[in-house]
Structure 1
Amino acid sequence: MAGDKDIVAHEVGLDAGAQDDLDMERMGKVQEFKRNFKFYSIFGLTTTLMASWESILLTAAYGLTDGGRAGMVYVYIASFVGFFASVVSMAEISSISPTSGGQYHWVSEFAAPRYQRFFSYLTGWLSVLGWQAAYASICFLCGTLIQGLLVFNYSGDSGYVYGFERWHGTLLTIAIAAVGTLVNTYGAKFLPPLEGVILFLHLGGFVAVMAVIWGMSSGTQQASGYTVWQEFTNSGGWSSVGLACLVGQLTPIFSWTGPDAATHMAEEVQNASFVVPWCMVSTALINGGLGFIMLITFLYNMGSLEAALGASSGFPFLTAVQHATGSVGATNGVAAIILIMEVCSAIGILATASRQTFAFARDNALPFSRSLAHVNKRTQIPTVSVLVSTIITVLLSLINIGSTAAFNAVASVMIAALFTTYILSILAFIRARFQPGGIPRSRFSLGKFGLAINVFSVAYLCFAIIFTFFPTTNNPTLVSMNWSILVFGVVVIFAIVQYLVHGRRIYEAPVTQVRKEQ
């Protein structure tokens, strides 16, 4: 099999470049990018893209409302176990097929022939739209964080009171999107070394925030061990605390969004079939650990739960840090670090979104595929895909002027869309395990535990995706309702219609290009 050929080639001493060429040849793809990323730089991109410890603070309101302190602790641990199983499952698949196409390529290669074309096309659309929504979401989050800081600093007894306007958030979203675009176009050649610097900032920022919170907090202000580890909350009014905790898992889920980012950059990574899977695993472990430490720090030092949830800024961590440090300046400093890291995350998300769009267009699956799949010969980046991704974010941000709830519904579809692609690709891989000859050998293997880990990861993802559609509180209003299930349904229907009208005629399924030895 082709996988055996890969391993044999590796074992006889092929260098990284030859191994990459062999992998691309097996998948039937032409190398169009320059492989500028090594382990450290791609690790920097994926680690800061997920920005787990930063996201824990930014999205704490979900977990505090549904589950409270203790709920956040145990849900985080349980969610990480399921999440990590999903990551290592996809890491093994990425080692076999290290392509920018990622999940839709894997479904095409490993699903049953009768269904692979349709489900591959569906997976591709969900992945493309999921990553586009992710870019819009991160830019909007940065914009609203700036607005939250203005509210935090200019309200109450201050001489100037900031008036929170939705159109301000839209303009700030567009500004953040513009920054990401400039770095991914004019600064593209500097992106690999820049990601190494950003990784240092990600780790250094974590240390700085920890030092500020613990160093300036007083023991008398901290919560007791009982409060943190045993006090659950059901502020959302659910039928039980257990259900509340399950709804509150949105906090850790948001903080782990995008573990597949490395594979969408695979065609720009040296020694990709080895580096990409280990980068995915390392990112999950490092970010999972940092996120847990930050979570415990936040819960011990946040002060009153009611005060945090009632923060006028909309971000409980601002109130929490001010309570811990007693300083507005220190709180602004912590927020500035987080804002910088989230902007850096936006840079990585745009790079990933554009490569996923490029890959799907390369297989003639999107409208205007020829333009979207074009790689600039001078910069060696898919410039059109980068610009289109930015334009989509700008257009989506305009929705916020009319309704923030409507924008959030569109942006939050990224989780359900991406989770669905993970489920479909791992299911296809499970099916391949039972075929004659099994799965191709890979340079990253789960061995005899692979099947059990794959099954467990699919079970977790199917369970978790259900709660991404829940509102934060029981009996929600039209405004507080989580409309993402409606948007997700529209996206799925749109993809199916696209397949019937467009895809089944001209979509070039990746499996048709994969080369296998007789």
Structure 2
Amino acid sequence: MPGEKEIVSHEVGLDSSLQDDRDMERLGKAQQFKRNFRFYSILGFTTTLMASWESILLTSTYGLIDGGRAGMVYVYIGSFVGFFSSVISMAEIASMWVLFPSDETGSQHAMRQDEPSNHHISTSAPTSGGQYHWVSEFATPRFQRFLSYITGWLSVLGWQAAFASICFLCGTLIQGLLVFNYSGPTGYVYVDERWHGTLLTIAIATVGTLVNTYGARLLPPLEGVILFLHLGGFLAVLVPMWAMGPAKASDYSVWNEFTNSGQWSSMGLACLVGQLTPIFSWTGPDAATHMAEEVQNAAFVVPWCMVSTALINGGLGFIMLITLLYNMGDMQSVLSPASGFSFLPAVEHATGSKAATNGVAAIILIMEVCSAISILATASRQTFAFARDNALPFSGALAHVNKSLRIPVTSVIVSTMITVLLCLINIGSTAAFNAIASVMIAALFSTYILSIGAFIRARMLPGGLPPTRFSLGKLGLPLNVFSVAYLCFAIIFTFFPTANYPTLVDMNWSILVFGVVVIFACVQYFVHGRRIYQAPVTQVRKTD
């Protein structure tokens, strides 16, 4: 890559664990976690966290309403291209080697991309900070502290909302199954109440908390098992839908019939609104970065894990999407399910069996609970990292790592408490809770835009970039620019309601929640953050 320097680290022969510890020392951070994750276990962690093929089924209603069969196919393909460019852009950033400039006085300070290239060279591993750390390194020095602070708040918001959202999704799936099984003309009829969903959400959050605290030591080997279940469950759902299904939909209807049930002004706009289905199924490609301080040989494993996760889940999601579209039966019967989940009548039509449908739903529910466990771990590590830099209220407590369990227990518990408090909103208004939960996409996308945008700025400087262990070469700049353009375009449609001319209940209020959080973060910075926030780049240590 132009501007990069060919180097050979004098520490190449070091044991990977010792290398990870030294990398953390250079970043000015103490190694407080056990590095229990290897490539396979962290791949299981991130792959099941995203749970793409499961999410395609769970959120298929949005795409079927706005776009229909053909719309879902082409939107999925287009969205994946943009999504994957963003993932590989962040993977390159995560693998970046850091150069530490030295001045004539020998003082130690962090790299500034516009400083002279008189520097010492060393390697650096990713930290749990992720995007806000990257912005701190690569943004213009004048604004890097402020932008890093805002990025950190958005990342914390995004992951906290993600945990609340996945727990609520699991709770409502249980409710949907009850409606699906007990809504006939005879016998017991289940009455869907909002407070039922709230209690079920709290129950799922509690399960995630117990696994992330008392079962924390078992999490790495457990993730390997969960990866096997993720792949095995995929086959267990896929095969019956193709083998047991009646007449399939025609090729023409799958690849050429579009639907605009949301009554948008054009079919193209309807398809763009419907991209929420694939976007939701790819939430969290940065999760591996936030677990980086628990990964062996993180500078190598983390970026390759991000890329592998995107490829595996992208492929599985597309196959499951095509399976659903060919086997789901009549569009109208699928779009108006009493359960609220379109995939339930679709699977029942494909298999001809309510028992088989319950089995498929059970597999998806188990995998989504596993996803919730991984999301809570990620949310707590992101919260811990930001608190470690004195950016959050009660930072001392949130940044504390339990010496026995070697995890940030306080951050785990606080993350759970936030979900519990948020889900109480659902008792009064499901729409209000959905606005908070759905804001995760906009918040996380914003952090991707800021970090990749800062990286583009660094690429354009005369000094070039430090070497990487995962390089995009000459394609790096165009891929970075394309990914930012895609993210800026996609984020707009995350704020759209499902249908045109929505009522107050149907309106997507996530833009209001997002705006309030951004304003709060800005005010918090000028009132509190700029005095005590320790931007990560200011803590990096120079080594000879």
Residue by residue over 1:374-422, the C-alpha shift from the partner in whole angstroms, topping out at 9 and shown as x without a partner, is: 0001110000000000000000000000000000001111000000000
Alignment correspondent of 2:113: none
Of 404, 420, 443 in structure 2, the residue corresponding to residue 394 of structure 1 is: 420
C-alpha distance in 2 between matches for 1:15 and 1:457: 35
Alignment correspondent of 2:244: 216
Residue by residue over 1:299-340, the C-alpha shift from the partner in whole angstroms, topping out at 9 and shown as x without a partner, is: 000111110011000000000000111100000000000000
Is 1:15 matched up with 2:41?
A: no
The equivalences for 1:105-504 within 5 A come to: 105-218=133-246, 220=247, 222-504=248-530
Instruction: Check whether the contact 1:205–1:337 (CA below 8 A) recurs between aligned residues.
Output: yes
- Deviation for aligned residue 1:501: 1.2
C-alpha distance in 2 between matches for 1:362 and 1:428: 22
Instruction: Check whether the contact 1:261–1:352 (CA below 8 A) recurs between aligned residues.
Output: yes
5+ residue gaps, structure 1: none
Letter of the structure 1 residue corresponding to residue 328 of structure 2:
M
Instruction: Check whether the contact 1:10–1:19 (CA below 8 A) recurs between aligned residues.
Output: no
Letter of the structure 1 residue corresponding to residue 249 of structure 2:
A
Residue by residue over 1:417-439, the C-alpha shift from the partner in whole angstroms, topping out at 9 and shown as x without a partner, is: 00000000001111111224212
C-alpha distance in 1 between matches for 2:415 and 2:10: 37
Alignment correspondent of 2:121: none
Alignment correspondent of 1:50: 50
- Deviation for aligned residue 1:502: 1.0
- Deviation for aligned residue 1:447: 1.1
Alignment correspondent of 1:103: 131
Please provide the CA RMSD for this pair.
1.4
Instruction: Check whether the contact 2:139–2:457 (CA below 8 A) recurs between aligned residues.
Output: yes
Letter of the structure 1 residue corresponding to residue 232 of structure 2:
G
Letter of the structure 2 residue corresponding to residue 225 of structure 1:
D
- Deviation for aligned residue 1:6: 11
C-alpha distance in 2 between matches for 1:469 and 1:10: 50
- The normalised TM-score by structure 1 is 0.97
Alignment correspondent of 1:77: 77
C-alpha distance in 1 between matches for 2:143 and 2:12: 37
Letter of the structure 2 residue corresponding to residue 343 of structure 1:
V
More displaced 10-residue stretch of structure 1: 494-503 or 34-43: 494-503
C-alpha distance in 2 between matches for 1:6 and 1:115: 30
- Deviation for aligned residue 1:5: 10
- Deviation for aligned residue 1:285: 0.1
Alignment correspondent of 1:25: 25
- The normalised TM-score by structure 2 is 0.93
More displaced 10-residue stretch of structure 1: 283-292 or 436-445: 436-445
Instruction: Check whether the contact 2:25–2:541 (CA below 8 A) recurs between aligned residues.
Output: yes
Instruction: Check whether the contact 2:146–2:525 (CA below 8 A) recurs between aligned residues.
Output: yes
C-alpha distance in 2 between matches for 1:330 and 1:15: 50
Q: 1:7 to 1:269 in 2, by over 3 A?
A: farther
C-alpha distance in 1 between matches for 2:427 and 2:206: 19
Matched positions, count: 514
Q: 1:10 to 1:62 in 2, by over 3 A?
A: farther
C-alpha distance in 2 between matches for 1:240 and 1:14: 60
C-alpha distance in 2 between matches for 1:18 and 1:5: 25
- Deviation for aligned residue 1:212: 1.5
C-alpha distance in 1 between matches for 2:363 and 2:138: 43
Secondary structure in 1 matching 2:206 = helix
Secondary structure in 1 matching 2:142 = helix
C-alpha distance in 1 between matches for 2:211 and 2:95: 29
Q: 1:48 to 1:89 in 2, by over 3 A?
A: same
Secondary structure in 2 matching 1:163 = coil
- Deviation for aligned residue 1:152: 0.1
5+ residue gaps, structure 2: 97-124
Q: 1:6 to 1:109 in 2, by over 3 A?
A: farther
Structure holding more helix per residue: 1
Instruction: Check whether the contact 1:6–1:23 (CA below 8 A) recurs between aligned residues.
Output: no
Instruction: Check whether the contact 1:66–1:472 (CA below 8 A) recurs between aligned residues.
Output: yes
